[in-house]
Chain A
Amino acid sequence: MKECVGMLLAGGEGKRLGLLTNENAKPAVPFGGKYRIIDFTLSNCANSSIQTLGVLTQYSPINLNQHIGNGKAWDMDRRNGGVTMLSPATGKHGGDWYSGTADAIYQNIHFIDQYDPKYVLIISGDHIYQMNYQSVLAQHKATNADATISVIEVPWEDASRFGILNTTETLEIYEFEEKPANPQSNLASMGIYIFTWETLREFLIEDATDPDSSHDFGKDIIPAMLGQDKRLFAYLFTEYWKDVGTIQSYWEATMDLLDEDSGSPLSVAREDRSKQIYTNEANFPPQYIGGTGRVTNSFINTGCFIYGDVSNSVLFRNVLVKQHASIHQSILHPGVTIGENVVLERVIVMENTEVPDGVQVYATKHAEPLVLNQENIREHFSEMEGMN
């Protein structure tokens, strides 16, 4: 028996990330110089002793499957428990795609049941934050709750973009409003839930029989629980949390990493070993900074060769920046080659793209950063030198 089983929803497409999720589920999008977005949630599990975890995949799961493997990087290569990848499957009575977050868990009730847990932690793999789920669980037990939902205070003017929880002073939830026009509270749901399994199990089975349900935790399960006077509490989280759902927020979250005072995970991990971020480690040589290289205020990963000027940027492994190139406020994914005299500002360059000599691409200060890959690079030329 396991006290708490984690279920990580990693099936989302992340449409608003555009090209970044063309062939990659959102949780598998590279982030922070050597990680993928899901590493932050997986590391939270590792750092919170959640050692039994189901990862629910659906959209483009190959990279995720390869990345997570047997879970060794997060100490989840366990004989008893550990990590299990849960893709939709057929069985004796047919099968179906996961039609919503609640349906994904419903279809895996037997997986959870085999561990006979008292509690289930539901998380998703598309946020950047560091949370000890044991603290949430401790509150859940102390309040004798049926469900505990992590919330974060958002600016009032943004509250109508979130799922908002209205609570009493003791943080007991009495109402959930999805994107309210006139919010009564600024406590936004972070999509992190702890449920008492016995209760959730009943609600999932009931929800599955409802043809009008969208089978979603926020839209269906939580309102149903509130409707039956279950005990729901909010867990107030006050540390760094960022949804990287759009190109703009992906870029901002990356820039946060470079700001030592932002409270963003990499600087926290440096001070506190219990908050380290783990990933499936590649094995490449250290980076080489040439005589003409100049790097400031940046993160650079193994295998890079730098001969140009890099500032306020994040470079993944095996990136080559040639002489007289200038990279500013940009994100270069693994294996990118930057030619001579290239100038990039506020640009995200996707894996293995070769940016030819002399290309200059800028996104203006208030525009969304540009995403470059080998196909679209020509459209973005503003100036060319040494090109045919």
Chain B
Amino acid sequence: MDRMMGLINLDQEYHVFNELTYFRNNASIPFAGRYRLIDFALSNMTNSGMEEVAVFVRHKYRSLLDHLGSGESWDLDRRHGGLFILPPDWNDPSDRSRGDLSFFHNNRDYFNRGKANHVLVSGSQFIANTDYKEAFSQHLETDADVTVIYTPVDEIRPEHQAYFRIEEGEDARVIGITNDEQNPNVFTGVYIIKKDLLMEIVNYCIAYHKENLFADGIKDQLHELDVRAYKYDGYHAFINTIESFYRENMKLLTEENFINLFAKPFIRTKASSNPPVKYQAQALVNHSIIANGCIVNGQVENSILFRGVEVSDHSTIKNSIIMQRCKIEEDVYLENVILDKDVHVKKGQRIIGTSDKPYVVAKRQIV
């Protein structure tokens, strides 16, 4: 039976998150009130029926490990298969692999052992709520070596720069994978590949001292392979900069976008034991997304409060993103601000950013 396993490759993901990645990997950046960026890739995989998912991660992964745990929140705590976090190195003196190839090379056993005969590879920055069953059907019907998933974007923005563009010919054949900035068909970083072929490409890349499996082994070998395109045109976001992070969070405050991203199938995340949100007598909340455990006694407008945030009376929060367990004392005014986790804003403070450049406060600061 044809089946897919998932691979979330966080190695070599391009991003500019500054303060937000001081203490964490980009995949564990909090998003939309209670999620982390990786939840979308992971939930889409399990919602597609995958029972084996591997994660390649090299740096700053403590918070990611804490978040993923045994994979239980995604039903990936399995006796067979389930969630694997794979290390890049191994006790192999002959290892000449570079870049993300070292993850593949040093975990050959893992790939060989799995039951799946196709691998769906994804990063963490393409945010959508979808399943990949349809793309997989097309991949099987066309008997493609590789099926790349792209999405047409309405407006080409800076966050799209990091992604290749797809040129599609007849029968969904990919005739070009380029850096053409004018092409709106942006590669989502998600592709499906035959597992045996993947391992052959790994061998080729290592033999020729290559450093990036997709760029060197698939893009540069495009004419040797049968590569097809699959178009995803649902709601999505690419998040790899502070600006795109802020804008995509704010976009969710429009009800239609919120529903598009969070309707069934559900995106899952690590559960917490926070009580429901407590709104107190002075609460005035509009156009906002509020996560459990918050206690609100001030004004919150057009903002996102993550779990366990406290907003005291006579304080106002506008157009802002307030992450877990931040404490906002009385008479505070925040506008166009991102507060990372555990920030404590003292009584009477005013912090104002602009909508293009939100003011970011790093984790655990007292201001």
Q: Which residues of A contact B (CB under 8 A)?
A: 32-34, 72-73, 266, 269-270, 276-279, 281-302, 305, 310, 314-315
Q: Are B286 and A291 in contact (CB under 8 A)?
A: yes
Q: Are A285 and B262 in contact (CB under 8 A)?
A: yes
Q: Are B276 and A301 in contact (CB under 8 A)?
A: yes
> Beyond the given A294-B284, A301-B277, could you list 13 further A-B residue pairs with CB under 8 A, ordered by the A residue number?
A269-B275, A285-B32, A285-B34, A286-B291, A287-B289, A288-B288, A289-B289, A297-B283, A298-B279, A299-B275, A300-B277, A302-B276, A302-B292
Q: Which of B32, B266, B275, B285 contacts A283 (CB 8 A)?
A: B266
Q: How large is the interface on B (under 10, 10 to 19, 20 to 34, 35 or more residues)?
A: 20 to 34
* 23 A–B pairs (Cβ distance < 8 Å), ordered by A: A32-B275, A33-B276, A72-B72, A266-B278, A278-B273, A282-B271, A286-B32, A286-B34, A286-B290, A287-B277, A289-B286, A289-B290, A290-B255, A292-B286, A293-B286, A295-B279, A295-B283, A296-B279, A296-B283, A297-B283, A299-B276, A300-B277, A315-B276
The chain A residue sitting closest to B295, CB to CB, is A270
Give every chain B residue within 8 A of A278 (Cβ-Cβ): 273
CB distance from B187 to the nearest CB of A (A): 28
Which B residues between 324 and 344 are near A, CB-CB below 8 angstroms?
Answer: none
Q: Are A281 and B33 in contact (CB under 8 A)?
A: no
CB distance from B82 to the nearest CB of A (A): 16
Q: Are A281 and B275 in contact (CB under 8 A)?
A: no
Q: Are B287 and A289 in contact (CB under 8 A)?
A: yes
A346→B262 CA distance, assembly (Å): 32
CB distance from A272 to the nearest CB of B (A): 13
Q: Are B279 and A291 in contact (CB under 8 A)?
A: no
Known: A283-B268, A283-B271. A288 touches B255 (CB 8 A): yes
Give every chain B residue within 8 A of A301 (Cβ-Cβ): 276-277, 292
A278→B266 CA distance, assembly (Å): 22
The chain B residue sitting closest to A33, CB to CB, is B276
A302→B274 CA distance, assembly (Å): 10
Q: Are A281 and B287 in contact (CB under 8 A)?
A: no
* B182 interfacial contact with A, CB 8 Å: no
The chain A residue sitting closest to B280, CB to CB, is A297
A33→B278 CA distance, assembly (Å): 10
Q: Which of B34, B258, B273 contacts A279 (CB 8 A)?
A: B273
Give every chain B residue within 8 A of A285 (Cβ-Cβ): 32-34, 258, 262, 266-267
CB distance from B314 to the nearest CB of A (A): 15
Q: Which of A34, A72, A283, A288 contacts B276 (CB 8 A)?
A: A34
* B349 interfacial contact with A, CB 8 Å: no
Q: Are A293 and B285 in contact (CB under 8 A)?
A: yes
Give every chain B residue within 8 A of A315 (Cβ-Cβ): 276
Give every chain A residue within 8 A of B286 (Cβ-Cβ): 289-293
The chain A residue sitting closest to B284, CB to CB, is A294
A163→B365 CA distance, assembly (Å): 54
Query: Which of A73, A289, A298, A315 is packed against the most chain B CB atoms within 10 Å?
Result: A289
The chain A residue sitting closest to B269, CB to CB, is A283
A290→B254 CA distance, assembly (Å): 9
Query: Which of A32, A73, A287 is packed against the most chain B CB atoms within 10 Å?
Result: A287
Give every chain B residue within 8 A of A292 (Cβ-Cβ): 286
CB distance from B115 to the nearest CB of A (A): 26
CB distance from B316 to the nearest CB of A (A): 15
The chain A residue sitting closest to B307, CB to CB, is A286
Give every chain A residue within 8 A of B280 (Cβ-Cβ): 296-297
* B272 interfacial contact with A, CB 8 Å: yes
A34→B286 CA distance, assembly (Å): 23
The chain A residue sitting closest to B287, CB to CB, is A291
Q: Which of A73, A290, A314 contacts B287 (CB 8 A)?
A: A290
Give every chain B residue within 8 A of A34 (Cβ-Cβ): 275-276, 292
* B73 interfacial contact with A, CB 8 Å: yes
A-B complex: 7 closest residue pairs judged by Cβ atoms? A281-B271, A33-B276, A286-B33, A285-B262, A301-B276, A286-B291, A299-B276
Give every chain B residue within 8 A of A283 (Cβ-Cβ): 73, 266, 268-269, 271
Q: Which of A277, A286, A296, A305 contacts B273 (CB 8 A)?
A: A277
Known: A270-B295, A283-B268, A296-B280. A289 touches B275 (CB 8 A): no
CB distance from A109 to the nearest CB of B (A): 34
Give every chain B residue within 8 A of A305 (Cβ-Cβ): 255
The chain A residue sitting closest to B261, CB to CB, is A285
* B281 interfacial contact with A, CB 8 Å: yes
Give every chain A residue within 8 A of B271 (Cβ-Cβ): 281-283
Which B residues between 311 and 363 are near A, CB-CB below 8 angstroms?
Answer: none
Which B residues between 1 and 57 are near A, CB-CB below 8 angstroms?
Answer: 32-34
Q: Which of B258, B273, B278, B291 contacts A299 (CB 8 A)?
A: B278
Q: Which of B32, B276, B281, B285 contacts A297 (CB 8 A)?
A: B281
A256→B272 CA distance, assembly (Å): 24
Q: Are A288 and B289 in contact (CB under 8 A)?
A: yes
CB distance from A203 to the nearest CB of B (A): 38
Give every chain B residue within 8 A of A302 (Cβ-Cβ): 34, 276, 291-292
Give every chain A residue within 8 A of B282 (Cβ-Cβ): 296
A277→B32 CA distance, assembly (Å): 25
CB distance from A270 to the nearest CB of B (A): 7
Q: Which of B268, B278, B288 contacts A289 (CB 8 A)?
A: B288
A300→B279 CA distance, assembly (Å): 8
A367→B20 CA distance, assembly (Å): 54
A314→B277 CA distance, assembly (Å): 10
Give every chain B residue within 8 A of A289 (Cβ-Cβ): 285-290
Give every chain A residue within 8 A of B283 (Cβ-Cβ): 295-297
Q: Are B275 and A33 in contact (CB under 8 A)?
A: yes
Which B residues between 132 and 182 are near A, CB-CB below 8 angstroms?
Answer: none
A289→B282 CA distance, assembly (Å): 16
CB distance from A46 to the nearest CB of B (A): 10
A299→B262 CA distance, assembly (Å): 22
Give every chain B residue within 8 A of A270 (Cβ-Cβ): 275, 295
